[in-house]
Amino acid sequence: MPKELSHHRLHLFMAMFILISFMLGCNEYMVVGNLTLIAQTYHESLSQVSSLVAIFAWTYAIVTPILAIFTNRVHKYYLLMGLLVVAGMVEVLLLSIA
């Protein structure tokens, strides 16, 4: 039978979970303050650039739980190394953003 967490440790884990969730959630919105500058730099409309933030947020919200379920039993080292290799190959093969 699994050992139960003490009341103090449970609160500590909950606080860590909330802090990590907050940090990951803020990460996707850090760019919002610079959207005008980004739009001007790439000569795109502000609405088109800001839609990228919305697309990222929706993709993150939908895909993260699904990936967590399917990769639960995979060793994290091999998963990260595989993702690194795939991301590197995509970056090399990708010629432009558009």
Q: What is the pTM assigned to this prediction?
A: 0.52
Would you call 2 helix, strand, or coil by DSSP?
coil
Distances (CA, A) of 37 to 1, 29, 32, 46, 50: 56, 15, 10, 9, 11
**Alpha helix positions (H), 1-98:** 7-27, 35-41, 46-70, 76-93
Rounded Cα distance, 38 and 59, in Å: 21
Residues with Cβ within 8 Å of residue 3, at least 6 apart in sequence: none
Q: What is the pLDDT of residues 9-65, one digit of tens each?
A: 888 888 888 888 778 777 767 788 888 999 999 999 999 998 988 888 888 888 888
Look at residue 84 and tell me whether its pLDDT is greater than 90: yes
